[in-house]
Amino acid sequence: MPQSPFPDVTHRLVPSPAGRIHLVEQGTGPLVLLVHGFPESWYSWRHQLPALAAAGYRAVAVDVRGYGRSAKPAEVSAYRLLDLVDDNVAVVEALGERSAVIVGHDWGATIAATSALVRPDVFRAVGLLSVPYTPPGGPKPSEVFARMGGEEEFYVSYFQEPGRAEAEFEPDVRGWLAGFYAALSADTMPAPGAPDPHFVRPGGALRDRFPTGSLPSWLAESELDLYAEEFERTGLTGALNRYRNMDRDWADLADFAGAPVTQPSLFAGGGLDASTTWLADAIEAYPTTLPGLTASHILEGCGHWIQQERPEEINLLLADWLSAVAPR
């Protein structure tokens, strides 16, 4: 397990429907649950834990099931969104709390939004980083992704085939992670007009379009080592199983098709992040889909790993928002 650089954090294993969830906690006050994305861990919140604790909050970053020291069920179907919502509820209860503010990045944003949508009794406010909220419903996800890219294959479809991305990843975990992080970071992503790293050419691999050379400025060699050590131990299958349940999620959440998230909410995205640009229509729809939105920010010149690329800005945005939605 990565050793925390912060002396005041507490590592815990708490029971959940997955079996156990590993979390890292710092501070006292209203509970703020931090949910990471792919392919990361609780460590992606290393800059937010001390900042939120200093602002008067009980900041708790989890390893999502399938990651880190959290349980890794063998069944692919055990990674549905509703299962992850249940894990989040279990964490809140295990910490002796009745409610929490939930903040997520990347897949964690979708997990956070779904948690708020399905369990508004537990999650009283929601912060979304990098990936905008889109209500459940619409066309079946696998059919949408299959139509993207023309002759090339969209990365989500690539990830959905069991074993395929694992075979690319496992021979060089550290190098693959370095390339993936660099491909979506503002200072190392491919130049405009270069082949898009979100797509795979016929017969190729996703990493064929990863940048090589320098790490992103936000990622030190020692920090990459910590991420790599985790995934060398756990493998990537648990993390990839999130992608392999998108059609199941579509069916599971059919009763919530088109439903807004009404709690107080925050959105922040990177101006250079494909998640922000591809889903611009979702951001424009926020008056309908996030009627409780209190703040929305696009950080110009920022890539996908927003809370690590711009930690000071995100810490200030979160602290200011939390002071309004979860006063100490």
What is the Cα–Cα distance from 276 to 270, expressed in whole angstroms?
7
User: CA–CA separation, 4 vs 6, rounded Å?
Assistant: 5
What's the confidence (pLDDT) of residue 150? Answer: 86
Domain positions in the chain: 10-325
Q: What is the CATH number of domain 10-325?
A: 3.40.50.1820
- To the query of whether residue 86 is one of the catalytic residues in this protein, the response is no
Position 328 scores a pLDDT of 85
Give the span between the Cα atoms of 16 and 115, in whole angstroms. 15
- Residue 84 DSSP SS3: helix
Structure tokens belonging to residue 31:
């509970």
106 as an active site residue: the answer is: yes
What spatial distance separates the first Cα and last Cα of the chain, rounded to whole Å?
32
State how far the Cα of 13 lies from the Cα of 171, in Å rounded to an integer: 30
Residue with tokens 């993390």: 239
Written as six digits, the tokens of 154 are 């969209």
| 216 phi and psi angles, rounded to 5 deg | -60, 150
Q: How far is CA 51 from CA 22, 31, 48, 69, 314, in A?
A: 21, 14, 5, 24, 10
CA–centroid distance for 206 within its chain = 20
Residue among 83, 87, 106, 273 flagged as catalytic:
106
CA distance 145 to 20: 32
Contact 61, 23 (CB under 8 A): yes
Please, are residues 132 and 147 in contact by the beta-carbon 8 Å criterion?
no
Residue type, 61: A
Strand pairing class (58-62; 100-105): unpaired
Where are the alpha helices (H) located in the chain, listed in sequence order? Answer: 48-54, 81-94, 107-118, 141-146, 155-160, 164-169, 173-183, 221-234, 237-240, 246-252, 274-278, 280-284, 286-289, 306-309, 311-325
Contacts of 109 (CB under 8 A, 6+ apart): 35, 37, 128, 129, 130, 131, 132, 133
Instruction: Tell me the pLDDT of the chain (328 aa) as tens digits.
Output: 444 456 689 999 999 999 999 999 999 999 999 999 999 999 999 999 999 999 999 999 999 999 999 999 999 999 999 999 999 999 999 999 999 999 999 999 999 999 999 999 999 999 999 999 999 999 999 999 989 888 999 999 999 999 999 999 999 999 999 999 999 999 999 999 999 999 999 999 999 999 998 999 999 999 999 999 999 999 999 999 999 999 999 999 999 999 999 999 999 999 999 999 999 999 999 999 999 999 999 999 999 999 999 999 999 999 999 999 999 8
The model carries a pTM of 0.97
- 80 φ/ψ angles, rounded to the nearest 5 degrees: -70, 155
Name the active-site residue from 22, 36, 105, 304. Answer: 304
CA distance 258 to 127: 19
216 closest CA partner among 206, 227, 208, 205: 227
Are 112 and 103 in contact by the 8 Å Cβ rule? The answer is yes
User: What pLDDT is stored for residue 6 in this prediction?
Assistant: 62
